[in-house]
A and B are shown apart, each in its own frame.
Chain A
């Protein structure tokens, strides 16, 4: 039997959800032996033309044009899409910028901060443009599984993955639902 393929990405996020995955520690070795990890920040596969995978996992909200493109591609290539952590589920801490025009957020960061000298607006063909608002994943593509938490605890991550690998859509028991 071939192992189920998994891809993980992070967008507008802090990496904490991936760190929480690593916090599975010894159990991590077990889980990794049951799946094939393809594209992921912890591997060397970095092709965003994704292979076909069984499970796509997203950490982070959608904050710029590149995030949106990659999320759409991943959706096309995965069977089950998981929103991992509060940022992917709700937009998270990043949405604090949603009430402020993005030009103002940029101007403050790159021109007005006290230590900045002769600042300029970072606008360049190599830089993806910010979206007006940071969006939760489900506002950009359909999502199959939500695992909230900031970050989701290792137990939630393990529970979610195990259920998916056994062919079920995980429904978190009440005591596993937490949002911090």
Chain B
């Protein structure tokens, strides 16, 4: 093997977190293993010990500034379970509305700010241009639409919780305040524009998929199980429901009350990553690989809960002969279908007069020593599990976050891309962008996943059979 020189390709990123990739070759110079290392860790599970359980929604939302609401909700649900209460119906509607706001902002952020530079400007475009600033320059109208769509989501959160990031809203037993009629009216006014934007995004991604169909079929395509919450009609439910796990062929393998997650989900640890590897327990590690997030939720769905999104699901399904639903690039399309679903859900909730009810909180003393709260965060299933003592002080915390569930799958996707781009120890041009693209499909929120966050610091190191460093690929 001769590739001992340092290969420097082009940049990387627009990812939410800290990570790097190493690729290990065998003696023939073929890819043996690829590892996606998450290099950040914060320690929430340990440092929450001893805190009063009511503080958890406020503390744990600081795990992530992109999906703080999901953490707040999973946490508040775990606290409800400790209080042993059903929260008032209006409180539940308001929590769901808050979550829809976050989905709208998070999915708009991912598509318009982070993914669209690849789609609109091309993977091999000049890295100096290939970012949201470049998109604003070249497609100002679309960029402004994306900005306004994200803004609508953030405004929903602000109307409820007083601020857009780390709001104080969902608490043990309900929510802190009701929604005013004025805010309700001004939020509703923002929907027509957001629908147009969402449909424009869908058009764009559909066209892109068509133009790149060969690559889409090939790119990091593999079968895995899928997991997500569903309601009683089998529609993806972002706030509540049963946890459904299906096989690649849509066959349901398990559907259970998420409070029983420990029976079905376990986590493996590799010494080379701060991110654990959850797996489907009955099948072991790594065979029990499942994926979560938009693609998974669409794959497990019997239908979508709203008309426009359901129509779009039918289009999505037509792409899926030959198991094409395993195509990692379809995550982008799935994400926008969900954004549409969330716009419709939010509009429905806001159109119902009961959303302004003042009966929004139950107060009481803890009756249970344990509580599990599970929601679907934008990036996938999010589990908070607490135990408290007689005084309500936290004794145990277990968190399994969305990006964690995808860890085995992200590693596998990276490996597939590496296998395509490296042969005989020779690296083809474009590897770095493709590896990053594969990871970006999962929209990994590495701050969540290691209960940590940091900039994506992705370089790729290639090691030979004897463990010697053959090449390092970084951006100039």
Contacts and interface: CB of A to CB of B under 8 A. Distances in A.
Interface of A: 9-20, 22-23, 25-26, 28-29, 32, 37, 41-48, 60, 63-64, 66-67, 92-94, 96-97, 100, 102, 104-106, 108-111, 113-124, 126-128, 130, 150-151, 153, 180
B147 interface: yes
A63 B164 CA distance: 26
Given A11-B454, A122-B272, A115 B65 contact: no
A72 B474 CA distance: 20
B476 A108 contact: no
A130 B285 CA distance: 27
Contacts of A15: 16, 64-66, 447, 453
A46 B64 contact: no
Closest 3 CB pairs of A and B: A16-B65, A105-B43, A108-B46
Nearest to B19: A126
B290 interface: no
Given A19-B165, A25-B151, A123-B271, A32 B37 contact: no
B62 A130 contact: no
A92 to B, nearest CB: 8
B297 interface: no
B47 A22 contact: no
Nearest to B62: A93
Given A19-B66, A26-B144, A109 B266 contact: no
A46 B46 contact: no
B163 A121 contact: no
Contact of A119 (B15, B117, B140, B269): B269
A12 B42 contact: yes
Interface string B144-170: 100110110010000000011110000
Nearest to A25: B151
Interface string B75-92: 000000000000000000
B190 interface: no
Interface centre among B20, B47, B163, B274 (most CB of A within 10 A): B47
B11 A44 contact: yes
Nearest to A115: B267
B474 A127 contact: no
B39 A128 contact: yes
Interface of B: 10-16, 18, 20, 22, 35, 37, 39-43, 45-48, 59, 62-66, 68, 109, 113-114, 117, 127-128, 130-133, 136, 140, 143-144, 147-148, 150-151, 154, 163-166, 261-262, 265-274, 276, 278, 285, 385, 396-398, 400, 447, 451-458, 474-476
Contacts of B154: 23
A29 B42 contact: no
A148 B40 CA distance: 23
A67 B46 contact: no
A114 B150 contact: no
Contacts of B396: 114
A96 B474 contact: no
A13 B458 contact: no
20 contacts: A10-B455, A11-B454, A12-B40, A12-B452, A13-B453, A14-B68, A14-B447, A19-B109, A23-B165, A26-B147, A32-B133, A42-B132, A47-B476, A96-B48, A109-B41, A114-B396, A115-B262, A124-B273, A127-B37, A127-B273
A46 B273 contact: no
Contacts of A16: 62, 64-66, 68, 165-166
Contacts of B14: 41-44
Nearest to A9: B455
B150 A22 contact: yes
Contacts of B165: 16, 19-20, 23, 151
